[in-house]
Structure 1
Amino acid sequence: MKDKIYYKDAVKEVSFKKDPITSLCYETIRENGQLLIFVNTRRSAEALAKKLAKNNFSEIDIKFSNTSFGKLLESCARRGVAFHHAGLAREDRKKVEKYFKENKLKVLTATPTLAAGVNLPARRVIIRDYRRYSNLGYRRIPVLEIKQMMGRAGRPKYDKEGEALLIAKNEEEKEMLFEDYINKETERITSKIANPGIMRTHILALIASNYVSNEETLKSFLERSFYSFQYNLSKIYDRILEIVDFLEENDLIKDYTATLFGKRVSYLYIDPKTAIIFRNALKDEMTPFGILHTITSTPDLESLYLRRGEFDEYDSIVLEKGEEFLLEVPDYWYEPDKYEFFLSRVKTASLFYDWMEEVDEEEIFKKYKIYPGDFYRLLGEGIAKSLK
């Protein structure tokens, strides 16, 4: 596959004096273009940007946040290169987007999330990785995501055309990429309303807004939904009735009329389960850590992953703060999986508590191995839930 670019109906001979990606960078920048390079992980985006920054594509002095990631961005940006992913602090992401749009940054490495959420076109798009790691090992990225990345090729007002390239290492891989990505239709979009959390929230909203008043009108509404158009509503109808029973049993509705509690929960647009957890946890005497742990134990908030070797650290916190927890502590001997999940919530509460105690944020990033962007997003969600 060396020194050639394959199109559907043509082959272009190229001269790669360096590795293919670096050579394509030089070629594109010589023609006053920019490159957007997609990789499968945040670390890969950072590592590739660092590698490409050994070349002097352009010179620009940009000040980023005073974090380890901000300093790495400054170092790369001096050579016209940057990286972008959801783990960056918002101010850093916005600066990267601004200077790339202004054509001051020439090369941008990114994860696929950029293709879905940010409009940053480039003359040439390179998709280095078409697989990413999941709980089931390495899996192929869906065709729809790959084509979203390809759709970033071509800058309006600047380019007559754009070019999107996938990297193949051999003939067999090249044929596979043509067959499974370039020539293939995207997967169909599917309804997500069957998700229990989404279903609970929407059914309560329909009742609280007086849009439905009985089982018949609820069924009539759902029969006109996207889910019903794609599938047979009867497949989940029993689950729908179970959710109605759940809302009634927990005093959110009564006879298809929202209670005051139900109306408030719907107005706040939170998962009814979150509201029930809060209500049941309330006590006359509560400590900050106990409240924080309750907030982190709701389905609306992600928890930090409990890493190998951290069990003893957070198990000792459970022993130390046992009386402070507002929720029942699972028994490790009888429910080990539940207890480990409980510890992950304890870890998340500990992060919030450290921030509340004004521990230096850079220290928090290192201690909890969390990216700034993830930290601020988690913090924002936690504060929003507590204020509600």
Structure 2
Amino acid sequence: MGQRNSRVIPVNDGAVYDHHPSTPPTPDTDKAEQHFHPCDEPPVDAGEGDAQRREEEERREAWGEEEEEMKKKRKKKFWRLPSFLKAARKHLKVIRPSQTEVQLIEPPSPASSADDDIMCRYELGDRLGVGGFGVVHEASRVEDGLKVALKDVMKTHDMEYLTIPGHPNPLPVEIALTLLANKGPSAPEIIKLLDWQDQRDNYVMVLECPSPCENLVSFLEGHGGRLEEGLVRHIMRQATRAAHTCCRRGVFHGDIKLENFIVSKDTLQVKLIDFGCGDLMRKSAYTTLYGTMEYYPPEYRVKGKYHAKSAMSWSLGVILFTMLCGRFPTDNDLQKTELNLWSEPGLSKDCCSLICSLLQHKTKRRLGLGKILQHDWFQVLSLRSATFAFVV
């Protein structure tokens, strides 16, 4: 659940976007409501007697009841928030070397009132996952009982914002990129954002939640650590479409890995999730990578820079290798893929060829993202593989 430098980036309608730094709008100053306090009352003359004292006691009792009611409202609102917010403040550490501490920032818009709080519209269920800055719960929408996934992310001092068409205020980058990735014809391979709210200390995203579902790491574990080739082909076709669709819509996901794909146990439909480490697509090279080390392309380790599409091809190659072999590729494996000599018992020649085409150190020799689905491995689907894919 990554967050980056604090800046506002405008998004134009073109395919490639330019960045420029700015500052999120400062929220309006909260106005404190003034309450009558007994200590501020004028002194009571001695000659006014018991009536005056009774009036004073009644005012104090009324003030006490008002204060108690306010405390109850504050307590009620606090417990509507996921408990991770309280815990996160005890561990203000980050997982990226470029950062030193986490601090809460001012939001680009005023915090919502209690009546507008998005948490009032959903009932939280079991926790689905937790990351460095947030937590995901199962939830149901109060008005119709729709099952959703509710993601609550704590803001940091260097959180990044984007401005995108149709939204006048800057949005947290994860919200903005998820909206952009879904802009256009429906893409079933990308998670849909159903509702969201940007609050003062955190932002909340309400996402579709296929049920029952699990990420590909859990799916692998449930199948003994590796999958049959036909089933992997079915999964990789969807994963590749998701990555390619994001690129065509100007979104660089930035963290393509097993954990960021969920699969429905009933239909085997795959969806790409978590755009928190993403960025806007650009033709120039990136020099910062917020993803996961095991999926880093070799050019980033060697030169400290990489291009989005070739990096995503490498990450898809690692996913393909891991699902088929039950492990990450070793240096010895990568030496063989570089020479197009890698093979694995039980795998088809076309499958081994695709892995070699993706896990090439030189980006010019690496299979492009738009050509992966044109590879021979995706063109031939045996009856046995197709049946296996939908029965497992």
Q: Same fold (TM over 0.5)?
A: no
**What range describes the TM-score normalised by the shorter chain of this pair?**
under 0.3
Larger Rg: 2
Name the structure, 1 or 2, with higher relative contact order (CA <8 Å, separation 6+).
2
TM-score, normalising length from structure 2? 0.20
TM-score, normalising length from structure 1? 0.20
The structure where helix makes up a greater share of residues is: 1
